[in-house]
Structures are given as structure tokens and as C-alpha cells.
Structure 1
Amino acid sequence: MLIDGNLVAVTDIEIEEARRQLALPTDFLLVQATQQLYHNPGNGMIVITMPADMFVVGFENRSGELKFGVVQINSLKHKVERK
């Protein structure tokens, strides 16, 4: 999976951990992840770089329903190149 331009091998265990933290059923599949949180407080867009073990993730089920959230996955921090 691409995470902020880096090709990262995300294991089934890491995906299951993210799904568990967001309390999602098993039919939701991980489709995107980033360590950049974009926030618009009303006076312009700001980008918040997440700590090394925190990720904003997006899951989607077969019906096209999307769910997003922030999860902590310690093992992924060693796989993602920080800039």
C-alpha cells in the first residue's frame, strides 16, 4: 500500500489491529492510509504530521461505505520513511 508516497507492506495483523481500534466489522477493507492530518479551522488549511506510530486510515466495505479514523500501529512506524 502507498502511505505518503512510500510503498509499505501492511500485514493482515496490522490491518486487523486498525479495524479493531475503529470497531469495524471484517467486511471493511483498508483502502488508504496517511500520516498527514488535514484540518481547516475556517481560516485556511493546515497539515498536522502525525506521530510516527499514528495513521489516518480509510476503510471501505463492498457497499462503498467509507469509514475514516486515526489508529496507532507501532509496527508500521518502522516501515514508513519519515521526511
Structure 2
Amino acid sequence: MSDDKSESRIAKLVGLAAAAGAAWAAGKLIDSLWTKAFGHAPPKADDDSDDIRFREVAAAAVISGAIVALFRASATRGARKLIG
């Protein structure tokens, strides 16, 4: 196996680990901020509670998706710079 393939695999693994860690950290941050702002955890798409309005579920999904995507992109790019 050449060194380039080995480095490429290592870079992919590090990037994957960084992205997973960033997604986890973003989720924790979102949960904390949502709880502080609204007094309860953010709703999940599969929540069956009648108390939760669709707008709140949609807002939580949009905010969560955007923040997780930004964290993952930053972590992946940072890992790429670190390795490359």
C-alpha cells in the first residue's frame, strides 16, 4: 500500500471522527440553548405530544440542521488542514 493511500484513509477517518464529534457537540449546544430559551428540550420529529405545534418542530429542525451542518463542515475542513 502506498503512503498516499494510507494518508488518504487516515485523513478520511480523522475527518469522519471530527464530523461526528462536531455533530454531537452541536446537538448538545442546541439542546442547551433551546432549553434556556423555551424552558423545554427541542421537539423531535417523532414526538407524539399534542402540545407541540408543527411550527416549533419545523423551527427546531431548521435550526438544528443548519448548526450541525456548520459544525461538521468546520470540523471536516479543520481536520483536512491539520492532516494535509
Give the structure-2-normalised TM-score. Answer: 0.26
Q: If each structure's strand is expressed as a fraction of its own residues, which one has the higher value?
A: 1
Give the structure-1-normalised TM-score. Answer: 0.26
